[in-house]
Structures are given as C-alpha cells and as structure tokens.
C-alpha cells in the first residue's frame, strides 16, 4: 500500500476512491474501522469509509485514529483525511478535532486544508470556499439539515474547530508552481502554523498542490486533492501506468434507487426520474414514526413494480419540510428513523433479487451499506464526477453506486445503468 485514506462518510470514501482508481491506482474501499489484527486488501490505495462526519467528537476521533493505525500497519506512506468538498461540519467539528488527532499521531508539523473539487463546482479563492458562483454560506448548504454552513472562510472555520491559527497559500502562489507552494508551506510551518488553506480553481491547481505535498505525511481535503497524488508515486518509481475501468460487469437481477438526500441536485434527479416514468414511492418520516409505513412495506411495494425500469424509494424533501419534521420528531430521531428503515429496506431488496442499487446521500449510503453488511468495495467506472459504480467484494452479490447528495447531473438516475454490462 502506498496511500491510506480516512474518509468521514460513505459517499466521500467512494468519491476519493474513484479519483485514485481513475488515475491508475488499484483502490479498494473498506467499510468501517478494520478489525484489529485483520489484514487489509492488497492495493495501491486503501480507503477506509467511516461514519464520523456527524458522530460525537470523541467517537469520530477514536475511529479515525483506529483507521489510521490499520493503514499504517498495512504499509501506507501517506495519510489523507478526506472530508466533503463543502467542508460539512458543525462549529464543534468534526474536521478540526480529527485533523488534530491525526497530526499528533503522525507527527505532522503542518497539513494543508483543501476541499476544492472544480469538476463539481467547488473552488477556493483567498481562503473562501465557493459552490459554483456563490460563497458556501450563500449556497443551499446554508440550510443543510445536519451541518448547516453559515461561513465561507475556511481559515475561520478551521481555526475555530482546531483551536489554532490557520494560514493561507494564496492563488498567486499556486500559479507560481510547486516550488513556490513548498516554500510558502515551509514559511508557514516555521511560523508555527499547523494548517494551511490552499486556493484552487482548476484541476491544474490541484495537480500543482499534489506535487508540492509529496513529502507530507498528512493531507486533509476533498477528493480533488487526491488527483495529483498518484503522479507523486510514479515519479518515485513506485507506481506503474494503468488505465481506469470503463464499465462493470453486474450480476443479473433487478435495479433500484434509494434516496435520502435533500440536496438541490438530488431533488432535481428525482424530478427527472419521475418525469421518465420511474415507479416511485415517497417515504414519510412521520409515517415511519407512527408505524403506518415500515421497511417491509416499502420493500414489498418496490419488488411488486415492473422490472423494466428501476424503482425509486425516496425520503428527499424541501429543506422547509425537513425542518418541520425535525421540529416534530427532533433532529436526531428524524434522521435515525429514516436511516434505520433504509438499512432494513436495502437488506430486504437484496434478498428479493435486487442486484443493482443506486443510493443518494451520505447518511443514506451509510445506512444501506450497514443493512447489506458490506465490508469491502471494488471501485468501477465513473458515472459522474465523484460517483463510481462499485462491486461488492464480501457481501451480497451486487453492484452499488453511492452518490453524495450534491453530486451528479440532472439525468444521473437515468444514465447510470448504461455503464453496467
């Protein structure tokens, strides 16, 4: 193993695994902290998918450190702490506290902070994170039900969470090339700065940054920063050139979609699926709470639909409707009751012959993987930037796509199936 990645949610793990796989690194995704004493799969890169984005801070730190130990034991030369390209977190964390713990364990004097992902409209300029043409705090992320983002300054956000000053590698420095970035990082480190936000507007910027941090033991950021890392290992003679996969063989069986994301992108994808005539059933958290809906009923409905089109089971809704449900049930219970239903639904769908499953939303993906008892995923072809098909290695015989809520074009639910053979 050359690179070890610790991702704070399921879709983020798949996202970064795709980035590495596409660049020619043999990459596998492991679900949850690897059991003590177990051997990790043979690969150039191993991505450990945690569910630590919204967990209690102490739990997130403990799981991340355990994942780090497993990756180091497996031979990782560099660790990437991967979080969302919209820096999803609360004022308490968990990005800052986890980064602090990993830096302490690895002896990292300085680590970059780079959630930029230009292919999906995430860019950083003067330390401010943009989503498309607007600052983060003006985007739909300002109303995220779990991690509402009300500030766009990554330096302020990281400084508050990590309880330390955060520096900046500005865009002029990035344009000047890897040597200039290295010099700026060295200056910040000499000044006692522990984290440095790095501006990035294009993929070329990410390649520059990747080159500049080739000797850093710890990196933090979105999947975009992984773009330049494989080339570092090639320059060192550790990684051959390899093409990425173009399609994926899927077992015969039915196809379906489970969606729990309330993002603008996913709601647009649901609209396109409904207009295309996909049979669809909306899940009501209040109905789950009073027992008038349950996982058994959802599965029975899905499996009774004609098999010529994928079915769609979704709880996605407008932020105002989500807030109304949270007011009635409480935020934690509203989320947990849907996740539990989707976990059980996924298990029942697999038992009912569904072998091709597309899942939208990080929390929903985590619940689905838990319900299916999946431990390892082999990364397949890219559907849209940041979203691949994957093959289950040590669970039910099926292929799954785990999509971050914010990712994908409006026709994502329609076109994904064409990459399966």
Tell me the percentage of the chain whose pLDDT exceeds 70. 100
Q: Which helix (H) or strand (E) holds 357?
A: strand 354-360
Concatenating the DSSP letter of every residue in 379-394 gives: EEEEEETTEEEEEESS
Q: What is residue 33's three-state secondary structure?
A: coil
pLDDT at residue 344, rounded to an integer: 98
For 254-419, CATH gives: 3.40.980.20
Average pLDDT of the residues of the chain: 94
Mean pLDDT of 12-36: 92
pLDDT bucket at 282, cuts 50 / 70 / 90: very high
For 3-235, CATH gives: 3.40.50.10840
pLDDT at residue 149, rounded to an integer: 83
Question: Could you read off the pLDDT of 159-199 as tens digits, one per residue?
Answer: 999 999 999 999 999 999 999 999 999 999 999 999 999 99
Q: What is the CA radius of gyration of the chain?
A: 21
Concatenating the DSSP letter of every residue in 220-285 gives: EE-GGGGGGHHHHHHHTT-----PPP--B---SSEEEEEE---SHHHHHHHHHHHHTT--EEE--H
pLDDT at residue 25, rounded to an integer: 94
Which pTM does this prediction carry?
Answer: 0.87
pLDDT at residue 36, rounded to an integer: 83
Question: Could you read off the pLDDT of 242-258 as tens digits, one per residue?
Answer: 887 788 999 999 999 99
Angle at 62 between CA 150 and CA 78, to 5 degrees: 85
Sign of the alpha-carbon torsion through 196, 202, 203, 205: negative
Between 202-206, 271-275, 305-309, 391-395, the lowest mean confidence (pLDDT) is in 391-395
Domain boundaries, the chain: 3-235, 254-419
């Amino acid at each position: 193993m050359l690179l070890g990645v610790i991702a704070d949610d399921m879709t983020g793990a798949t996202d970064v695994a795709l980035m590495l796989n596409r660049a020619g690194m043999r990459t596998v995704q492991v679900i949850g902290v690897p059991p003590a004493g177990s051997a990790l799969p043979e690969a150039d890169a191993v991505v450990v998918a945690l569910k630590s984005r919204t967990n209690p801070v102490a739990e997130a730190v403990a799981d991340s450190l355990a994942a780090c130990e497993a990756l180091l034991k497996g031979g990782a030369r560099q660790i990437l702490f991967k979080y969302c390209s919209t820096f999803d977190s609360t004022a308490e964390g968990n990005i800052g506290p986890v980064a602090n713990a990993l830096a302490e364990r690895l002896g990292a004097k300085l680590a970059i902070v780079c959630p930029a992902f230009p292919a999906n409209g995430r860019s950083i300029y003067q330390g401010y994170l943009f989503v498309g043409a607007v600052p983060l705090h003006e985007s739909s992320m300002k109303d995220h039900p779990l991690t509402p983002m009300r500030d766009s300054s990554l330096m302020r956000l990281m400084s508050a969470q990590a309880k330390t000053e955060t520096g900046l590698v500005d865009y002029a420095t990035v344009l000047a090339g890897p040597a200039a970035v290295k010099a700026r990082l060295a200056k910040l480190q000499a000044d006692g700065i522990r984290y440095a936000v790095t501006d990035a507007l294009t993929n070329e910027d990410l390649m520059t940054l990747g080159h500049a941090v080739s000797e850093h033991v710890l990196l933090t950021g979105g999947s975009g920063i992984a773009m330049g890392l494989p080339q570092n290992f090639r320059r060192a003679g550790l990684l051959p050139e390899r093409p990425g996969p173009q399609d994926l063989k899927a077992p015969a069986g039915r196809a379906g979609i489970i969606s729990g994301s309330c993002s603008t992108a996913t709601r647009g994808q649901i609209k396109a699926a409904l207009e295309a005539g996909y049979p669809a059933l909306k899940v009501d958290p209040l109905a789950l709470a009073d027992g008038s809906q349950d996982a058994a009923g959802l599965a029975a409905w899905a499996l009774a639909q004609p098999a010529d089109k994928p079915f769609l089971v979704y709880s996605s809704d407008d932020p105002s409707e989500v807030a109304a449900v949270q007011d009635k049930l409480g935020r934690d219970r509203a989320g947990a009751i849907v996740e539990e239903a989707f976990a059980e639904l996924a298990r029942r769908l697999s038992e009912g012959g569904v072998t091709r499953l597309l899942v939208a939303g990080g929390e929903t993906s985590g619940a689905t993987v838990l319900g299916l008892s999946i431990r390892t995923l082999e990364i397949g072809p890219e559907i849209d930037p940041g979203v691949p098909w994957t093959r289950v290695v040590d669970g039910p015989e099926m292929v799954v796509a785990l999509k971050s809520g914010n990712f994908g074009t409006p026709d994502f639910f329609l076109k994904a199936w064409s990459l399966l053979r």
